[in-house]
Chains A and B, each alone.
Chain A
Amino acid sequence: MSANPNSLLERRIVFLLLFVAVTIPLIFPIGWKTEVSGYAKMAWELIEATPDSSVVIFSFDYDPSTMTELQPMAEAMLHHAFSRNQKVMAMALWPQGAQMADQAFGKALESFPEKKYGVDYVNVGYKVAGIVAIQSMGRNMAEVFPTDQRGTKYAELHMLKKIRTLKDIGYVNSLSSGTPGIKEWVMAARDAYGTPVTGGTTAVSAPGLLPYVNSQKQLHGLLGGLKAASEYETLIDKIGTATVKMDAQSIAHLLILIFIALGNIRAFWAKKRRKA
């Protein structure tokens, strides 16, 4: 059965309009402001309230396919943690997450050139086994990460000298685009060892994780998608990559809403004509 030529043409017009709607705001930014949601504020408050010099974990549980959404979050949250003088241990439950961490550190170091590797931040790299690895970190961190990504032994990393288990960690921030990710951190770190967990995820995954932001504080806030990343940039008073992209996102959403309305009106008239 071949497709209706009219429907094919209409589909191409929709794609073309969407393409134009996204491209123009990227070239000529409008500068619309983003309202900060309660979920983003909660994540910000956790980092803000964690004492100076605390060792915190940033888990890069994603790969380049979702970096458009997650990298701006990582950069903004890392910027916030560094500004609060927290010591960041980066790790990854996804193989390519370690490279994402290096990129985020590179960006953050442009604003904080005084931060030193091993003293203020460290990248211990990728660890296989997801939730099992997290459970093991609750017993002995050095066993899970005998060396960092550069091959330096755990005991020789200055900032990790007093860190034995997950209980010594200020909070865990998981930037995740699937499994293993935030859910595993909630289950193994928060619910088993009491370590506070916050994080960011892709917009697709956000609805499934929002129930963990509850009165039990299984999750301290959640950033879902590019919009939440721009909200976080607003909270730390920084115009980052997410804020710039939000104009394009908003225009595209507006256009999709118009398409949905037009489609419904057309379906309504078609139904009425059939009845008549």
Chain B
Amino acid sequence: MSFFATFGLWMAVFFTLSIFSFLYKDNPFYKFAEQVFVGLSAAYWLVYLFYSIMLPNLFNKLLSDFSGNLILLVPAALGLMMLIRLIPKAQWVSRYPIAILIGTSAGINMVRYAKSDLLSQISATMINPFSASNLSGIIGNFLLIIGTVCGVYFFYFSKKQDGFSTVPSKLGIWFLMVSFGASFGYTVMARISLLIGRLEFLLKDWLHIIK
């Protein structure tokens, strides 16, 4: 292994253990590692985004064929206007590119979300529950329909819910609680996976205990 590879490995080990040391208590090693991470990330992304976005999509194109890429001056100007935010007296200039950004995003997303998150999801709930080939599938289809209807009903606030109307609302809460529980379970799984990843690095790449 080359000197730089070995040095990199030991650096990674040092920072991994420094971050883990917070589990015992806050200490200077943890603070050092945290601050190095924040500073390094900011610098890394600045350089990376310049070389992978600004350079190929703007500067290179303008330098190779300026007249053919005149349209690129528009986003370039909008980007500069955004940076004017740093000058307190001229901050208002940055509102125009922000307005364009929000308007464009809203326009693009409105159609897509309406189709994918509203119409298609509603269609996916309008199913024949008995279309499934086995009993568990049929029960699953019923749960899907009842859960969706009751979950949506829980968020119906235009009329006071009392008497019989509280039943679907309470059922909706149960379905929501089950979904929160599932989300929590998945989150635990993800966090343990991250721990496994770091321990695998320490045991495999550093200590060579496992292959």
Please state if A249 and B189 are interface contacts (CB–CB under 8 Å): yes
A245 touching B196 in the complex, CB below 8 Å, given contacts A191-B115, A203-B187, A203-B189: yes
Which residues of the partner chain A approach B192 to less than 8 Å between Cβ atoms?
22, 248-249, 252-253, 256
Question: Which residue, A67, A215, A225, has most C-beta atoms of chain B within 10 A?
Answer: A215
Chain A residues with Cβ below 8 Å from B52 are 95, 126, 128
Q: Does A163 contact B (CB under 8 A)?
A: no
The answer to whether A26 touches B196 (Cβ under 8 A) is yes
By the criterion CB–CB under 8 Å, are B189 and A226 in contact? yes
Residues of B within 8 A of A227 (CB): 189
Among residues 149 to 202 in chain B, which have CB atoms less than 8 Å away from a CB atom of chain A?
Answer: 179, 182-183, 186-190, 192-197, 199-200
A27 within 8 A of B: yes
Q: Which chain A residue shows the least CB distance to B123?
A: A216
Contacts of B127 in A (CB 8 A): 215
Known contacts A15-B23, A203-B189; is-contact A214 B124 (Cβ 8 Å): yes
A86–chain B nearest beta-carbon distance, Å: 26
A183 and B182 alpha carbons, distance in the complex (Å) = 20
* B-contacting residues, A223-255, CB 8 Å: 224-227, 245, 248-249, 252-253
Please state if B121 and A203 are interface contacts (CB–CB under 8 Å).
Answer: no
Within the assembled complex, what's the spacing in Å between the Cα atoms of A69 and B187? 12
How distant is B61 from chain A, measured CB to nearest CB, in Å? Answer: 10
Interface check A263, CB cutoff 8 A: no
Task: Please provide the 3 A-B residue pairs with the shortest distance between their CB atoms, ordered closest to farther.
Answer: A68-B197, A214-B124, A203-B190
A206 and B197 contact, CB distance less than 8 A = no
Complex Cα–Cα for A226 and B192 (A): 10
Q: Does A176 contact B (CB under 8 A)?
A: no
| Cβ B188 vs Cβ A253 within 8 A | yes
Interface footprint category on A: 35 or more
B187 to chain A, nearest CB (A): 5
In the bound complex, residues from chain A placing their C-beta under 8 Å from that of B196 are 22, 26, 68, 226, 245, 248-249, 252
Are B189 and A253 touching (Cβ within 8 A)? yes
Which residues of A, 194-216, contact B by the 8 Å Cβ criterion? 202-204, 206-207, 211-212, 214-216
Contacts of B187 in A (CB 8 A): 203-204
Q: Are A187 and B124 in contact (CB under 8 A)?
A: no
Is A132 an interface position by the 8 A CB rule? yes
Q: Does A141 contact B (CB under 8 A)?
A: no
Given the interface pairs A12-B24, A225-B189, the reply to whether A131 lies near B48 with Cβ below 8 Å is no
Q: Which residues of A contact B (CB under 8 A)?
A: 8, 12, 15, 18-19, 22-23, 26-27, 67-69, 95, 126, 128, 131-132, 135, 183, 186-188, 191-192, 202-204, 206-207, 211-212, 214-216, 218, 224-227, 245, 248-249, 252-253, 256
Q: Counting CB contacts under 8 A, is B210 at the interface?
A: yes
Bound-state CA distance A186–B210 (Å) is: 39
Bound-complex Cα distance A23 to B49 (A): 37
* CB of B43 to closest CB in A, whole Å: 14
Is A191 in contact with B120, judged by CB distance below 8 angstroms? yes
Contact B115 A187 (CB under 8 A): yes
Cα–Cα, bound, A207→B120 (Å): 18
Asked whether, in the complex, the Cβ of A131 is within 8 Å of the Cβ of B108, the reply is: yes
The residue from A126, A207, A256 contacting B186, defined by CB atoms under 8 A apart: A207
Q: Looking at the complex, which one of B57, B193, B197 makes contact with A225 (CB distance below 8 Å)?
A: B193
Q: Which residue of B lies closest to A12 (CB)?
A: B24
- Report the minimal beta-carbon distance from B149 to chain A, rounded to whole angstroms: 15
Q: Is the CB of B194 within 8 A of A27?
A: no
Asked if residues B23 and A131 are in contact (CB atoms below 8 Å), the reply is no
19 A–B pairs (Cβ distance < 8 Å), ordered by A: A22-B199, A26-B200, A26-B210, A68-B196, A68-B197, A128-B53, A188-B112, A191-B112, A191-B120, A192-B112, A211-B121, A214-B121, A216-B123, A216-B124, A218-B116, A249-B192, A249-B193, A249-B196, A252-B192
